[in-house]
Amino acid sequence: MKIRIKNGRVIDPASATDRVTDVFIDLQLISAVGSVPDGFVAEKEIDASGKLVLPGLVDIQCRVREPGLTHKASIASETNAAARNGITSLCIPPDSKPITDNSAIVEQIHHSNQKAGNRCHIYTIGALTKKLQGEILSNMGTLKQAGCIALSNAQRPFLNNLVQRRAMEYAAGQGMLVVIQPMDQALYGNGCAHEGPLATRRGLPPIPEAAETAALAKDIELVAQTGARTHFGQISCARSVDMIRQAKKDGLPVSADASMHQLFLTDFDIDNFDTRKLVIPPLRSEQDKHALRAGLADGTIDCICSDHQPHDADAKLKPFPSAEPGISSLDVFLPLLFKLVEEGVLPLAEAIAKVTQHPARIFGLPAGQIAPGELADLIIVDDQQSYSCRSEEFLSAGKNNAFEGWDFSTRVEHSIIAGKPID
C-alpha cells in the first residue's frame, strides 16, 4: 500500500529532523520525506496536522508470557497492546517456558507472532547457557542463525565466574551482544524491598544496593577481560550509574538501560505494601531515581525499556514478600516518556532517541528512524490529550498497573508497522 502522512511534525533524532512535512510510504519502506516521489499516487492519506510523527518505539525488555505462561498473557495480546501504544519492536528475554536456548523455541515464538498477525516485530534474545542453568554454554552459533539478536542469562546466576567468562568469550567470538542484568544472588537473598528506612520500618526483607553494584563491578571486569560487547539492563542504583560512566570513559564496549518505572517511583511508593509496585530490582531511593535521570541526561544510560511483566490478578494478591514482581508497562510507556519531557529531564528529541534510535543501534535492529529506504515503522501521536490512567483500559492482558490514576497527556492515534496500518 502507498500511504501519505500529511502535515505532521516529523521528529527523527537519527537524522536530526524536526519539522512539519509529509512522509511517503511505498509497501514496507519509507520512499520519501518532504517532496512527493515521482509517480507516487497515495492509496491512503492520513492527516497528521497538529500531531507528532515519530519512529516506532523499540522496547528492549518485554515479557509476552508465551510460551509457557499464557494464563497471564500471550503474544497476541501483548503485541496488540504494544502496536496500539506505539511500540513497533519488542525484544523478548530468554526466560520463557521452555527457555529460549535452541532454534526450535525461536521458531515457535516467531510462528506464534505470525499466527497473531505480526502486529509488531518480535526479536528474540537467546540464552547464554542451556536452560539458563549457568553451567553449560548454549549453542550460540545456532541461536544466531535462528535469528537471535543478542544473548543473556536473564536473572539467572552462573555457576561461577569462569563459566560467565567463557560464555562472554564465546558470544564475542560470534559477534553477538551480551545482555546482563547485574545481580548477586547471595546478596539478593529472599529480599523484596530496597534496603533503607522504609524496609526497616515495615519489616520487609531488604535488598542492598550492593546486590547490583558488586555484580556490576565483576561484570565490568569480565568485559575488560573478554572484550565482549555488553549491555547492562535495568540499572537501578546511583553507584551503578557512576560505574558505567567510568567504564565508558575507559573505552569499554558497554551500554545500559533503565526501566521506565525506576525513573518515577521510589521505595516509599510501596509504603502501604502495594504489590503492584513490587519489582526486581526493587524501587530504590529518591537519590537513586535522580541519579538515573542524570545518567539519562548525560548519556551514561543509553536507553529506556518498559521491563513489561504482565500478571494475572492472583499473582499480586499474596502478601508483599511472596507476591510476584513486575509491572504491566506497555500501556504507559509512551505517556511516561512524555512526562519525562514535561518534567525537564530530557528534551523531546533526546527522549525519543532513548526509545528509538539508541536501542535500535545497540541491538542492531532495522528500526528507530524515519528516512528513505528504511522500514516504515511510524507512529502518529497526539500530545495534547488529557486523561487519567486506568488499568481497566489497558490493552495488555496484564492489569497490574503501578500508575493508577496518574494524569497523562499523550496517546497514539495511528501505528504503521512495515507499511501496514494497525487497526
Three-state DSSP string of 257-281: EEEHHHHCCCHHHHCCCCHHHCCCC
| Interatomic CA distance for residues 351 and 342, integer angstroms | 11
CB atoms within 10 A of CB 239: 17
The catalytic residues are: 307
Q: Is 120 exposed, middle or buried (0-12, 13-18, 19+ CB in 10 A)?
A: buried
**Residue 98 per-residue DSSP state:** S
The separation between the first and the last C-alpha atoms of the chain, rounded to the nearest angstrom, is 15
How does 262-288 read in b/e, with b if 16+ C-beta sit within 10 Å?
bbbbbbeebeeeebbbbbbbbbbbeeb
Rounded (to 5) percent helix, strand, coil in the chain: 35, 25, 40
Residues 6+ apart with CB under 8 A from 150: 91, 125, 126, 176, 177, 178, 179, 231, 363
Helix (H, G, I), strand (E, B) or coil at 315: helix
| Interatomic CA distance for residues 79 and 10, integer angstroms | 25
CB 88 within 8 A of CB 377: yes
CB atoms within 10 A of CB 114: 11
State the chain's maximal CA–CA distance in angstroms. Answer: 70
Helix (H, G, I), strand (E, B) or coil at 333: helix
